[in-house]
Amino acid sequence: MNSEKESHTTHDAEQDARNKDVKIYINGEIVHRDDAKVSVYDAGFMLGDGMWEGLRLYNGKWAFFEEHMDRFFNSCKTVSIDVGMTKDEMLDALNRTAAANGMTDDVHCRLMLTRGIKDKPFQHPSLSRSGPTLVLIMEHSKPVDSLSSKGIRLATVPQVRGLPMSQDAKLNSHSKLNCIIACLQAEEAGADEALMLDPHGFVNTTNACNFFIVRRGEVWTSTGDYCMNGVTRQKVIDLCRENGIPVFEKNYSLYEAYGADEAFLTGTFGAQTPVASIDGKPIGNGDRPMTRKLRQFYKDLIKRTTSDA
């Protein structure tokens, strides 16, 4: 590891003592985190057989709830997990849990649904017979300031993104082993997180966020194949279009990434996080006018879409 610089993850949040006592939703019950327990027979624990979403609460409202639910329900349908509730019922569960925690702002939720408890400790999905397990973990969560000031150090890694017929990257699956291996490789290379290529060698995404570069006033990201169909990714593309900023979803290589004026990551947790370096090469001159502008547009969008709650 590079010991001169403090290391980061893209999900570093300010310490908040209140998180030691958060209440967690499990299948309709809301309990203290110390009592929030799932069976060792649960398909999520045993096999990573489940889907999840990361959501943020602003001004008492879940940002881009519809978009998150569209992706979540589509993912569950793809792997034949019956969510067992409607989107409105899910919203009610989220709101009840937030209320039980007295939370309205700067909150991150990990919503997780697994295929449920299995009769036997084996893979076959039909062994989960008693319905899905739904868990909502909410924490007080403000990304640390240094993430947006210093930026993140990426390393390209041997682990690549998969083809959709092996494990479609659009499935926000509990099983993140492909991403975890990439992240371990990046750490071993002395970076914070991994920049992953697609099977053809084009720059695709990071292990936990979508990836953008800025070149001569243009914003580029991958075609969208092989990566998570990120809600924040789409919002950034839409904001560019609305504000007359040229934006392209295209194939490009490390050549263009290393030579970019700016690079940033997108995700629900950190919104837009600047990239300081890739493979030890600094990106741009550290001035990040486009990233700053897009961060502001995104902040305004959140305000516009959550302020009437």
Ligand X SMILES: Cc1ncc(COP(=O)(O)O)c(C=O)c1O
What is the closest distance, in whole angstroms, from the C-beta atom of residue 50 to ligand X in the complex? 13
Query: Which range, of 94-102, 103-111, 214-222, 224-232, touches ligand X by CB under 6 A?
Result: 224-232
- Candidates 156, 148, 124; CA nearest to 49 is 124
What is the closest distance, in whole angstroms, from the C-beta atom of residue 196 to ligand X in the complex? 9
Does position 208 bind ligand X by CB under 6 A?
yes
Does position 172 bind ligand X by CB under 6 A?
yes
Site residues for ligand X, 24-83, by CB under 6 A, read: 54
Does position 197 bind ligand X by CB under 6 A?
no
Q: Which of 156, 232, 273, 277: binder of ligand X (CB under 6 A)? A: 232
What is the closest distance, in whole angstroms, from the C-beta atom of residue 238 to ligand X in the complex? 13
How many CB atoms are closer than 10 A to CB 291?
A: 24
What is the closest distance, in whole angstroms, from the C-beta atom of residue 169 to ligand X in the complex? 7
DSSP 226: T
Site residues for ligand X, 135-154, by CB under 6 A, read: none
Does position 10 bind ligand X by CB under 6 A?
no
Per-residue CA distances from 47 to 40, 115, 132, 174, 177 (Å): 10, 10, 14, 9, 11
Please name the amino acid found at residue 257.
A
Q: Which of 75, 222, 268, 273: binder of ligand X (CB under 6 A)? A: 268
Does position 302 bind ligand X by CB under 6 A?
no
d(CA 99, CA 102): 5
Does position 162 bind ligand X by CB under 6 A?
no
What is the closest distance, in whole angstroms, from the C-beta atom of residue 308 to ligand X in the complex? 23
Q: Are strands 61-62 and 50-58 parallel, antiparallel or unpaired?
A: antiparallel
Please name the amino acid found at residue 167.
Q
Q: Which is nearer to ligand X, 113 or 117 (CB)?
A: 113
Can you list the positions of beta strands (E) in 183-280? 193-197, 203-206, 210-215, 218-221, 247-249, 262-267, 271-278
d(CA 68, CA 90): 11
Radius of gyration of the chain (CA): 19
The binding site for ligand X (CB under 6 A) comprises: 54, 172, 179, 205, 208-210, 228, 230-233, 266-268
